[in-house]
Chain A
Amino acid sequence: MKRYHPLKELSLARLREFFREPEAVFWTYGFPLLLAVGLGIAFRTRPVERIYVDIEQHALAQEVKSVLERSPEIAVEVHSPRACRDRLRLGKTALVVVPGQSYAFLYDPARPESVLARAKADDLLQRAAGRRDAVATEDRHLTEPGSRYIDFLIPGLVGMNLMGSGMWGVGFVIVDMRVRKLLKRYIATPMKRTHFLWSIIGGRLVFMIPELIVILGAGALLFGVPIRGSLQAVFLLSLAGAVSFSGIGLLAASRAQRIETVSGLMNAIMLPMWLLSGIFFAPERFPDFMQPLVQALPLTHLNYALRAVILEGAGLLSQSWRLLVLAAWGGVSFVLALRWFRWN
């Protein structure tokens, strides 16, 4: 007689269900790929932006114009004082220079491009008036792989995806089975509950591997994003992240009786991490009073660790604190989920 092992059969069922559902496959693999490509193109290294500066009509206007035009980035126009102010207000120009014995700069200090234009214009005018630089400086432009925005973004996308598919891949699947009364049907058999939970989490870990390959592969092939750390470290770190978020997903699903409930709950859990955990920009940008919250989130630590390993070639040991935070989130969630879990 054939032998059937429940853990094997449950895991096979999980894999079949996932790969036979085109939507699930798209959201897990296709979506992050599109996101990476889209953002990569949007933030690719662009030619230097033009800086627009207006000069008020004045006897010296043409002289000032020729000084400013020494910099190829600056586009200069001369207008009446009134037209200058209108153009400033409408954003057509970043800065208005009022010539005279001394110069006045009109601009809105809240507009970064205005601040930049002011600095540039001031610099050019001072030099033209005879200022000498006190110390020699040199510009080195960082556009080599490893330090561009896309390099920052790709590990963030890996982290975001590990969170999203960990939560959905566990939380949604379990509540769906509960709604279908399939969980109840399972516990009406001698099935071991641990086998069931292992199959769900095991499935999640298997689905994670193509996820990593798709995102990191797209980054490497399309944008030349480097992987400086060992592949083993990247894999183990992702595994830790996937397990941790599976635990949180299990907790979200432990009692929910409806798909809407678990969806809302999971979005509420994930929203702060989408915003604060450094997927698209560094979490240090948030003010100090928010840092305790930012630093408490598991995705923040996963993203830090992923960037350290992928971009800086750090070893796993140097990230042990971050791994510990992930383990704590995952572990506590698992324990609570198992205590509260509702099978029927």
Chain B
Amino acid sequence: MGNALVDSGRDSRPAIYCQALRKQYRSRSGTVDALKGLDLEVGRGECFGLLGPNGAGKTTAIEILEGLLEADSGEVEILGMRWGQNDDELRQRLGISLQETRFAERLSVYETLVLFRSFYRSGKDPAEVMAVVGLGEKARSWVGKLSGGQRQRLAVACALVGDPELLFLDEPTTGLDPQSRRQLWEIIRDFKEQGRTILLTTHYMDEAERLCDRVAVVDYGKVIALGSPGALIAALGGDHVVEFAVADGGAVPPEELAALPAVRGVRVDSAGAALTVTETHVAMPALLELLRARGLEPARLTTRHASLEDVFVNLTGRHLRDEEVSPS
């Protein structure tokens, strides 16, 4: 009670604050810059996503914030505290799920959760957490017998059992089937509804769009775009994307496409063209008319809502999922 003033000072600070984070790795072929001056600020109660392709530096960033890795330079403040000064206090209040942890195969789900619960001064009843993540029926099963999705939910359960204020999730759904992903999204939403803070990394833009209040798009160790998914998409100039390709290798000059009504952006690559449009029903007839006039047959024609993927491609000229491999 004596340090109520200090605490209220801390509580008014952002959940996560970092500035100018730099980290280099030495490898056989020289040094690799994993982070090149990363700045972030995540407010309390926010669900914040670090979005980027594999190798962008997301895991390096989150592990520095988790106090598991030391930055070469830069400042970090978590819940108003610093690593190296308040470690135990911080650890009591954080929940962490690493990218890949293989828990002891011959312990049951319940035994694993009790073990993790025992590390915290206060926390949740392991049985209750098991129910929250939908592993109640697996209480007595050995971890070695769980499916990939169940193991991932166990990993999140181990992060929740200390009743954390701030949850770090590194690639929580990578490699999972759609149903398992949705189950995890539900768990994350539940946590957020209690007013707690979440930082997650992902290279699935649909995941970031569905879960996150704000995202930072990370590429080559820097934040290249920051904002709510809606705002980032809106900045493209249109909500919809029309993608098409023409048969027999024909092509339409980009200038002509850009001149069509309601078209706000044009991207042409080897697979075809993508138009960012404000109103599909205006752009589409004009596009078809243009193709007919040039005697071209559309081989593929789709429309969809613009996504964070388009934001990323627009910023970097590359696709997020170019290297869709499970991270090592």
On A, residues with C-beta under 8 Å from B are: 1-2, 4-6, 8-10, 12-13, 16-17, 20-21, 180-182, 184-191, 344
Contacts and interface: CB of A to CB of B under 8 A. Distances in A.
A187 B102 contact: no
B118 A190 contact: no
Given A9-B118, A185-B96, 15 more contacts: A4-B117, A4-B118, A12-B111, A13-B111, A13-B115, A17-B104, A17-B107, A182-B102, A182-B103, A188-B91, A188-B94, A188-B98, A189-B116, A190-B119, A344-B68
B67 to A, nearest CB: 8
Contacts of A181: 98, 100-102
B114 interface: yes
A181 B69 CA distance: 14
Contacts of A8: 118
Interface string B75-111: 0000000000000100110101010111110110001
Nearest to B112: A13
Interface in B50-68: 66-68
A315 B215 CA distance: 71
B84 to A, nearest CB: 14
A42 to B, nearest CB: 36
A191 to B, nearest CB: 4
Contacts of A20: 106, 142
A180 B162 contact: no
Nearest to A191: B119
A10 B115 contact: yes
Interface residues of B, number: 30
Given A188-B91, A189-B116, A190-B119, A16 B66 contact: no
B120 interface: yes
B28 interface: no
Contact of A6 (B66, B92, B103, B118): B118
B119 A189 contact: yes
A189 B91 contact: yes
A16 B111 contact: yes
Contact of A190 (B92, B100, B115): B92
Contact of B115 (A1, A9, A180, A187): A9
B121 interface: yes
Given A4-B114, A8-B118, A181-B98, A190 B104 contact: no
B92 A16 contact: no
Contacts of A190: 88, 91-92, 119-121, 162
A287 to B, nearest CB: 46
A188 B96 contact: yes
A184 B107 contact: no
B106 A16 contact: yes
Of A8, A188, A191, chain B has the most CB atoms within 10 Å of the CB of A188
26 contacts: A1-B125, A5-B118, A6-B119, A8-B118, A9-B118, A10-B115, A12-B115, A13-B107, A16-B107, A17-B104, A20-B106, A21-B106, A181-B101, A185-B98, A185-B101, A185-B158, A186-B119, A187-B68, A188-B67, A188-B96, A188-B98, A189-B91, A190-B92, A190-B119, A344-B68, A344-B69
